[in-house]
């Protein structure tokens, strides 16, 4: 049974390719998606492997603490299970090109409702100035934006080639304030993005949001050249799908007391397991494919619990 819990936010600083193997559609190498919604995700197994690799880089591959938290190597997998358990990383904010303000972060009532449910399960404090924020739902072809938005012109927000009527809501501003305080890095170099979410958050109708996360990802064409002719080698032309830069995902994380007999000092309880992972994994890591061409750089933010610190 899980005894400790938290939330990990994942901010993409470059395009990220959480691959799912060869696809049957127009993109050769698509990204991972939920079956019932088609929303982008990073599957829990992939996320756990990335966090484990980052912890091993700092602590050592055979570190007793790493083995206690993440489990033994494959050849000893039957000895005991790891005590650290992340969930799938789900999309929370998706960047979309905007006619005004360069880009907007879009989300939906469904996404906000699901995040609120997951945040409650993870023990997060969702209050701003003592008031807990609630998901908001647009009607018809309406888009909800914060008061004093920077992505609105003539009463409309235009995303890609689609136009939406606008309704300014204090509730959206409250959600944006919570995200700026809790989900974004608090270093000075992130000041611009923390301020931008206060003016560029857009809550869209469900179908519109799904269309954007399905069709507004980045699709890149890759080739391999023949060394002699400097032309594309036979069969070496393919396309890859990526989550765009500036997307925000979140993953609930949980821990049990160690299942390993006689765990080492510092990882003897579920709380110490989570604390160890937070300490061992750097704030900026590489995730997904294409590491050698600079893809997959993400910034991790551990959300604060009620009354706690980040």
- Provide the pLDDT for residue 231: 65
What is the tens place of the pLDDT at every residue in 23-50? 666 788 899 999 999 999 999 999 999 9
Pairing of strands 284-286, 297-302: antiparallel
- Asked if residue 153 and residue 103 are part of one domain, the reply reads yes
What pLDDT is stored for residue 25 in this prediction? 66
Cβ(271)–Cβ(247) below 8 Å:
no
Same domain? 131 vs 194: yes
Contact predicate 302/278, CB 8 Å: yes
Query: Per the domain annotation, does 300 fall within a domain?
Result: yes
Q: What pLDDT score was predicted for residue 43? A: 96
What is the per-residue pLDDT for 42? 97
| Structure confidence at residue 126 (pLDDT) | 94
Residue-wise pLDDT for 88-139, tens only, equals: 999 999 999 999 999 999 999 999 999 999 999 999 999 998 999 999 999 9
Query: Is residue 209 located within the same domain as residue 133?
Result: yes
**129 within domain boundaries:** yes
Q: What is the pLDDT of residue 77?
A: 73
72: containing domain: 1-18+44-87+245-310
Please tell me the total count of domains within the chain. Answer: 2
For position 230, what pLDDT does the model report?
67
Predicted TM-score of the model (pTM): 0.93
The greatest distance separating any two alpha carbons of the chain, rounded to the nearest whole angstrom, comes to 67
Phi, psi (deg, nearest 5) at residue 144: -95, 135
pLDDT at 235: 67
Q: Are residues 173 and 260 in the same domain?
A: no
Task: From 198, 216, 234, give the residue that closes a domain.
Answer: 216
Residue ranges of the chain whose pLDDT lies below 70: 23-25, 226, 230-232, 234-235, 305-310
Q: Are 156 and 165 in contact (CB under 8 A)?
A: yes
**Residue 250 domain flag:** yes
Do the Cβ atoms of 98 and 200 come closer than 8 Å? yes
Residues 145, 201: one domain? yes
């Amino acid at each position: 049974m899980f005894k400790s819990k938290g939330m990990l936010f994942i901010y993409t600083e470059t395009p990220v390719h959480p691959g799912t193997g060869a696809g049957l559609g127009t993109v050769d190498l698509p990204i991972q998606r939920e079956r019932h919604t088609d929303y982008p995700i990073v599957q829990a197994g992939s996320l756990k492997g990335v966090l484990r690799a980052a912890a091993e880089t700092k602590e050592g591959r055979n570190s007793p603490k790493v083995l206690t938290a993440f489990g033994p190597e494959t050849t000893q997998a039957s000895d005991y299970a790891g005590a650290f358990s992340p969930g799938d990383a789900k999309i929370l904010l998706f960047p979309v090109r905007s006619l005004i303000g360069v880009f907007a972060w879009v989300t939906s009532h469904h996404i906000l409702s699901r995040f609120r449910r997951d945040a409650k399960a993870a023990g997060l404090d969702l209050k701003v100035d003592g008031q807990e924020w609630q998901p908001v739902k647009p009607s018809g072809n309406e888009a909800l934006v914060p008061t004093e938005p920077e992505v609105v012109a003539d009463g409309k927000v235009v995303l890609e080639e689609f136009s939406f009527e606008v309704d300014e809501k204090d509730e959206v501003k409250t959600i944006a304030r919570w995200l700026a305080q809790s989900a974004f890095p608090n270093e000075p170099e992130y000041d611009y993005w923390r301020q931008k979410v206060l003016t560029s958050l857009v809550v869209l109708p469900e179908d519109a949001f799904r269309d954007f996360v399905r069709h507004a990802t980045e699709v890149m064409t890759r080739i391999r050249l023949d060394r002699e002719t400097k032309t594309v080698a036979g069969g070496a032309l393919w396309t890859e799908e990526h989550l765009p830069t500036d997307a925000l995902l979140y993953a609930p994380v949980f821990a049990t007391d160690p299942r390993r007999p006689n765990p080492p000092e510092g990882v003897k309880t579920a709380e110490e397991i989570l604390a160890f992972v937070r300490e061992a994994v750097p704030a900026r890591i590489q995730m997904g494919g294409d590491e050698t061409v600079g893809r997959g750089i993400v910034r991790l933010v551990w959300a604060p619990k009620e009354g706690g610190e980040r």
